[in-house]
A and B are shown apart, each in its own frame.
Chain A
Amino acid sequence: MPATVKVLRRPAPGQTSYLRSALKGMGLTFKHMVNPKKVTLQYPEERLELSPRWRGTHVMEVHADGRPKCVACGLCPTVCPANCIRLVGGEDDMGNRYPIVYEIDEFRCIFCGMCQEVCPVEAIHVGQHFENAEYTRDRFVYDLDRLMEQDHPSTLLWDPSDPRSE
């Protein structure tokens, strides 16, 4: 099929008026002045609701007696594509394997959530949280105590009532 060419008639200079378009635009402006549609949130008094699937800074789950659930298996530092998890395993006084050092560099983290996916004991999770401002860079390396203290909810990619996605 041969291509068809649509010929547009271009008005000659001096023959057009922009008044109609200008009035149309002003109309929209006045409409929003009378009946405004809110976009800007008055943060921090008002806050956006996060998606339950939001992947933010990490949370370490804790046993009832206050021990971290982590067993230092080494899968999260292995799977981490940003190489931001540092783990040194050891044995506690009850003969259990536990993390002596567990650090996540939240600056290097890309929040892919693979650490949570790979964890065999449902210990490490990405959380529904985004307010992480600090005064120094080194504060962004979260150690085990800090990860255990995080009180924001973990992402609903993981459902606590069905921890093994069965």
Chain B
Amino acid sequence: MVETVTLTIDGQEVTVPKGTTILEAAETLGNRVPHYCYHPGLSRPAQCRLCLVEVEGAPKLQASCVTAAMPGQVVHTQSESARAQRRGVLEFYLKNHPLDCPICDQSGECKLQDYVHEEGRAHGRSREPKRVLGRDDFGGDVLFYGDRCVMCTRCVRFMNEMAQDPRLTVVERGNRSVIDTFFEEGLAGSPYAGNIVDICPVGALVSKDFLHKARAWDLDHIPSICPNCSQGCNIDLHVRDNLVQRLKPRDNPEVNQHWMCDYGRHRYEWMNHGTRLVAPARGRGEGLATGTWEAVLSDLADELAEAREAGLGVRALASPFASNEDLAALRDLVEALGGGEIVFRSPRADQEIPLPGFPKLVRRRDLAPNVRGAELLGMRRVGGEDASGGLESLVGFDGILLVMGDALLDAPEDFGAGARVLACLGTHPPRVAAGATHLLPIRTHAEGEGTFTNVEGRVQRFWPGLHAPGEARPAWQVLAFLAAALGAEGEVPALAAEAFARLAADHAPFQGLSYEVLGTRGALVNDPVSLPGA
């Protein structure tokens, strides 16, 4: 039983666990007290003086980010004195702030802009010239605009407490203080430094990769899962013009808290279309011709049925970048064809990169989002650490070959030449398209709905953020159609939720899960892995 306290904030009673600060208690009421230095994942120096609120009985205004809620306390966040104080503090913040919002990348998501717009003075009274510091390259992906800094020191504290790699510090004192790196070392090579750009409340720290690329208000935020390692960090895809412009972490205390690694953050370009497979096709070698989905799928279903009649076996190559729904649908199709082995190849890094301040968050060795999901669905990992090789059992196979999501970059030229049917489901044309009898364009995870199972066994949903190119369809839909045409039981699912419901019913580790149960935070499979540090 957690001990609770009840207090009154702006006339509303609220009950919170003992030890909660006034600021956090106010946030449970939806009452956002302005703040810069406070960040839920970091220590609280109470130095920005912006979260001061009036507490009845206290002689002065109290910093709400460090004042614990007490029973019977009466707090006013919007009283005359609190507002006057904030107005004054904000005027000081603007004393040296350059007001270069038109060319600042933070504009639109800037806390100084928001707060001043809400309750700051309409005009500054300062007539003195502003301090000019210019721009500094902090190394890595980070640029520092000293003029815009409000000295909240979140970045310094992140590097000290979370990355535990103190590379930033405050130089000088008082109004001359400025954030700086030590000598020429900078942030280059620090694997989590990108997070300081996210937590900077103003435009002082900006990403070189995102510099001048898009305005914050133009971006659509789509909840997704980072596809670059098996940690499964919760992220938002920031999309404009049907292109992913950047990735930002999304809070999930069970997986990544507020953070994500730079490795994942900077690998999004592949989601923006390159040379994509856009139309289904059939025919071998020179005879390969595009057709309608209906024609190509019914042709493929007929050929699969014939091959099954002829008693030929089936083997499949899957990809750990495919969702649970896709992999389960592939498993169902292979079962409908008489059953066979499904293998996958996955790139692996040399080492893990943990975040010392939050040990649960680790850049995992598996550099694909759904390795665990593939294993839970009975697929076997083959090939080397760089996702090559391991195709020996498939190359000379003379039955049915199904390839999903693997671009076959290192396959021999005659891959699948002896196979009766070689159906390739992929986002990009496979390198050995000549051997394929059927090419079926499918969607990437950024274009469809689905789930990934992370290294721990947490099943997490992602949502579609981009329009799929051409006629690309979700792989689970294509595979379920083929399975149904071959006489598998059940209807073809129309929604990803239905595909997942079927997967949950058929596979023990996923039993009891549904999209409702998963929600936005995900849920563990029935046999999760306990990880060190968790």
The chain A residues found within 8 Å of chain B, CB to CB, are: 71-75, 78, 89-91, 95-97, 120-121
- Please state if A72 and B212 are interface contacts (CB–CB under 8 Å): yes
Q: How far is the CA of A96 from the CA of B102 in the complex (A)?
A: 12
In the complex, A78→B135 CA distance in Å?
27
Kindly name the residue among A73, A75, A91, A120 whose own CB sees the greatest number of chain B CB atoms within 10 A. Answer: A73
Q: A74 near B213 (CB under 8 angstroms)?
A: no
**Interface status of B211 (Cβ within 8 A of chain A):** yes
A153 to B218 alpha-carbon distance, docked (Å): 32
Instruction: Assess A73 versus B211: contact at CB under 8 Å? Given A78-B217, A95-B135.
Output: no
Closest 4 CB pairs of A and B: A73-B102, A74-B215, A89-B212, A97-B103
Contacts A/B (CB < 8 Å), 21 sampled:
A71-B102, A71-B103, A72-B103, A72-B212, A73-B101, A73-B102, A73-B103, A73-B215, A74-B215, A74-B218, A78-B215, A78-B217, A78-B218, A89-B212, A89-B214, A90-B212, A91-B211, A91-B212, A95-B135, A120-B101, A121-B102
Question: What chain B residues lie within 8 Å of A89 (beta carbons)?
Answer: 212-214
What does DSSP make chain A's interface, helix, strand, loop or mixed? loop
A154 to B315, CA, bound (A): 71
Set of chain B residues within 8 Å of A91, measured between Cβ atoms: 211-212
Separation in Å of the B139 CB from the closest CB of chain A? Answer: 17
List the B residue with the shortest CB-CB distance to A75: B102
For residue B218, which residues in chain A have a CB less than 8 angstroms away from its CB?
Answer: 74, 78
- Check A120 against B135 for contact (C-beta < 8 Å): no
Question: Chain B's nearest CB lies how many Å from the CB of A22?
Answer: 69
CB distance from A142 to the nearest CB of B (A): 20
**Interface 1/0 per residue, B197-222 and A, CB below 8 Å:** 00000000000000111110110000
With a CB–CB cut-off of 8 A, which chain A residues contact B212?
A: 72, 89-91, 97
- Scoring B135, B214, B215, B218 by chain A CB atoms within 10 A of each residue's CB, the highest score goes to B215
Cα distance, A73 to B102, chains bound together (Å): 5
Closest to A99 in B: B212
Cβ contacts under 8 Å, B101 to chain A:
73, 120
Residues of A within 8 A of B135 (CB): 95
Q: In the complex, what distance in Å separates the CA atom of A121 from the CA atom of B103?
A: 11
In the bound complex, residues from chain B placing their C-beta under 8 Å from that of A120 are 101-102
Chain A: which residue is nearest B102 at the CB level?
Answer: A73
A90 to B208, CA, bound (A): 11
Across the interface, name the chain A residue whose C-beta is closest to B134.
A95
Chain A min CB distance to B360 (Å): 37
* A164 CB to nearest chain B CB (Å): 13
Q: How far is the CA of A138 from the CA of B217 in the complex (A)?
A: 29
Q: Which residues of the partner chain B approach A73 to less than 8 Å between Cβ atoms?
A: 101-103, 107, 215
Query: CA A44 – CA B101 in complex, angstroms?
Result: 46
- The closest CB in chain A to the CB of B211 belongs to A91
- Shortest beta-carbon distance from A67 to chain B in Å: 14
Interface centre among B102, B213, B217 (most CB of A within 10 A): B102
Neighbouring A residues of B217 by C-beta, 8 Å: 78
Distance A73 CA – B107 CA, assembled complex (angstroms)? 9
Q: Which residue of A lies closest to B208 (CB)?
A: A91
Q: Nearest-CB distance from B102 to chain A (Å)? A: 3
* A75 surroundings in chain B (CB, below 8 A): 102
Separation of A121 and B211 alpha carbons in the complex (Å): 20
**How far apart are B210's CB and chain A's nearest CB, in angstroms?**
11
Closest to A97 in B: B103
Task: Report B-chain residues with C-beta under 8 Å of the C-beta of A96.
Answer: 103
Nearest Cβ distance between residue B145 and chain A, in whole angstroms?
Answer: 11
